[in-house]
Amino acid sequence: MINLFNKKYVLLATVAILIIFGAGFYLFKKESPDPVALYAELLEGKGAGENISAEKRKKLFDKVIEGLEQQSNKSSEDMSLKLQLATAYYSNRYLEKSEKTLKDILAQNPENASLYVSVGNVLQEQGKYQEAVSFYDLAKQKDSHLISAYINLYLVIKNNLNDQARAQKILLEAKVANPGNEELNSL
C-alpha cells in the first residue's frame, strides 16, 4: 500500500501540480509579447519578422510601437527605451513621430553628437535637406571624429542640394579631421 503522506510522494505531487499550473499559466496568459524583444526580432529578420508580407510586418511594428509607447509612458526617463521607440517609428515610416522623439531625447542629451546625426537622418528622409544639414553640422561640431556626420553631410549637400564645391570642401575637412579613414577615402 502507498503511503500518500510519504515525503517523496508529497514532493512529486507538489512538483507535478506546479508544472501543470505553470504550463497552464503559460498557455493561457493574455499578455502580449515583450515589445522590445519583438522589435529586436523584426529588425534582425528573425522569428516573427521572418518571411512575412509588408502589411503584416507593418502591423507587427505597430504592436511593437504600442508596447514601447506604453513602456515609455511608464518610464519617461529611460532614454534607451525612447531611442528604441524613435527607431521603431522610423522603421515604420512614422517620420514626424521619430523626429519629435529624437528631438526630445536630444533636448535632454545636447552633447550627444550621434543624436544630431539621427535627427538629421530623419529630416533628410522627409526631404528637409537644409534642416538636416544644420543637424549634421552640429554633430560634427560636437564630435569632429564622428564619420557619419561628415558622410551624411557630404551626401546631402552633393546629392540633394547639388552643391558639388561645398560637398568637396566637407569631404576634405572630414579627411583632415580623420586621416587615413577608409570610408572617407572611398568617397
- pLDDT of amino acid 106: 96
Q: Which CATH class is domain 110-187?
A: mainly alpha
Q: Mean pLDDT, to the nearest integer, of 37-63?
A: 67
Sorted by where each begins, the domain ranges of the chain are 34-98, 110-187
For the chain, how many residues are written?
Answer: 187
Predicted TM-score of the model (pTM) = 0.72
More confident position, 64 or 17:
64
- How close are the terminal C-alpha atoms of the chain, in Å? 85
Taking Cα atoms as reference points, which of 164, 182, 116 lies closest to residue 156? 164
Contact 100, 90 (CB under 8 A): no
Share above pLDDT 90 across residues of the chain, in percent, rounded to a whole number = 48
- In the block, cell 508544472 appears at 19
- pLDDT of amino acid 53: 78
Contact 171, 150 (CB under 8 A): yes
More confident position, 50 or 171:
171
- Report the C-alpha gap between 34 and 46 in whole angstroms: 15
Band of pLDDT at residue 77, cut at 50, 70 and 90: confident
Band of pLDDT at residue 11, cut at 50, 70 and 90: very low
Query: What is the three-class DSSP state of 5?
Result: coil
- Report the C-alpha gap between 129 and 135 in whole angstroms: 10
- pLDDT of amino acid 40: 58
- Report the C-alpha gap between 60 and 167 in whole angstroms: 39
CA 160-145-108 angle, 5° bins: 80
Instruction: Calculate the alpha carbon distances from 61 to 48, 91, 96, 118, 165 in Å.
Output: 10, 8, 16, 20, 41
